[in-house]
Amino acid sequence: MRGLAGMRVLVTGGATGIGRAAALRFAAEGASVAVNFVGDPEPAEELVEELAEVGPGGEHLLAPADISDEDAVDSLFAGVVQALGGLDVLVGNAGIKVVHQPHEVLMADYDRVMAVNLRGAFLCAQAAVQHFLDTGRPGRIVMTSSIEAHFPVEEVAIAYIMSKSGMTGMIKALALRYARHDIRVNAVGPGATRTPMNVDFERDPSIEAAVVGMIPAGRIAEADEIASVIAFLASDEASYIHGQTILVDGGMGVGRSG
């Protein structure tokens, strides 16, 4: 896509699922990619090796950090900027989901979901915007939201739904303020997607069948289909798109919009 070659990209939650697919797509387009992760380094290490094969012209690196921690985010961005010589694109993909009946949600679980999905996304967006303003260069922020922010499906994932709904407001506010600086802030809203977060699809075919029954396209999305839209939103092809969440849901939201 136009404008991605030579870009310096940070993907949070980049080791698996949609983040992994996005990292591979950017590398294939000629970008340099920093893969953020927390916990087990092996998937991220394997991904960075794969990025070197897919995108040999770029520089690809590991960027471990807990994005819910303000000091860790500051260190993360400082390290990535130093290693890559700057930053052009933030893909805010890190996220977690905890499933409970709404009246049984533990506050510890609620706080952790909000800390990663909303606080962490905002901390990273703040750091990215500050870098873009300091350098006077255009910037691109693409967050991974969810169809759940617009058409809730899993009432047992209420904290996740609330966090992604908050993200919708966040990207609109950021876009409203920083569009004048050529900083584009958008999100992709995946529908049901085959990722490690959605392991129930693999465990129980009846769950997948029930979900597919709600999707006009008649199937679950693959992570690279979401990554294609992330790459588009970061590219010059999307130069006039600000503050939007693009649903990539196989028509699932259309059937629920009334």
Question: How many angstroms separate the CA atoms of 233 and 125, rounded?
Answer: 16
Q: Which of 110, 160, 178, 240 is catalytic?
A: 160
Question: Whose structure tokens read 């691109």?
Answer: 140
Please check whether residue 221 is in contact with residue 121, taking contact to mean a CB–CB distance below 8 angstroms: no
Residue 160 bears catalytic tag:
yes
Interaxial angle between packed helices 70-84 and 121-135, expressed in degrees from 0 to 180 and rounded to the nearest 10: 40
Question: How many angstroms separate the CA atoms of 32 and 37, rounded?
Answer: 16
Which residues are bridge partners to 246 per DSSP? 188
Interaxial angle between packed helices 158-178 and 107-114, expressed in degrees from 0 to 180 and rounded to the nearest 10: 30
Catalytic residue numbers, as ranges: 160
